[in-house]
Amino acid sequence: MCGRMAITLPHDAMAQVFDAAPANDLPNTPDYNVCPTQAVHVVTAGEGQRRLRPMRWGFVPHWYDKLSGGPLLINARSETIADKPAFRAAVRERRCLIVASGFYEWHRVPGAVPQPWYVTRSDGSPMAMAGIWQDWSKAEAPLATCAVVTCGANAAMAPIHDRLPVILSPGDWPLWLGEAGHGAAPLMRAVADVALTFTKVSTQVNSNRAVGEDLIAPVE
């Protein structure tokens, strides 16, 4: 599961890390509380040049007659993505990297307020999450939309939540983006060795209106 994220890198730094040409309308950074339906930073490949682009976080199938025409699809399960009518064409033809500094996950215990944790790569590098995307053409202009691909939690994540975004290492980016030919399917399980850091943070991030760097500050 991935239901909230933070992005702190400046646009030029993201463009350099991913060797991508940045669009002119990228979301402002830093943003410590990126929520579903907001624009996120996405890397796509094509015509010999990667692009760093904004996309709506919430994949919209072509048959939705409005943005709220069905469930909000912010995640796509790797185990079923190839079979789901909403996702199967996109995972073959329109894969992307969804860029974040980290994401939030909530540990839920019956009878208690869900406890948020902020999850980052232990090496401090940006998190490139496997994603899928497609344009939804029933808006006034085509709207690029995306979803994060998730898999079962690794051993480090399991005490907090049973799902984890598929986090790709730099050597895997070309294959996922389709630059290195076919055979990307195994990458959707390749997260066991990614070293992650888990920071217990304030429950103020439970509100989608919360803002500011304090959201990622550790608490006891």
Contact between 11 and 63 under an 8 Å Cβ cutoff? The reply is: no
| Residue 79 annotated as catalytic | no
Return d(Cα 212, Cα 210) in angstroms, integer.
Answer: 7
Give the closest residue to 79 by CA, choosing from 178, 160, 163, 2.
163
Residue whose pair of structure tokens reads 């984890």 in the numeric block: 164
DSSP state letters, 21-87: EEPTTPPPS-EEEE-TTSEEEEEE--TT-EEEEEEEESB--TT-SSTTSS--B-EEETTTTTT-TTT
The answer to whether 207 and 196 have CB atoms below 8 angstroms apart is no
Residue 150 backbone phi and psi in degrees, to 5: -120, 160
What are the start-end ranges of the H helices in 82-160? 88-93
Catalytic residue among 2, 96, 146, 151: 2
Residue 47 annotated as catalytic:
no
What whole-number distance in Å separates Cα of residue 199 and Cα of residue 181? 37
Catalytic residue among 96, 105, 146, 151: 105
Please list the active-site residues: 2, 105
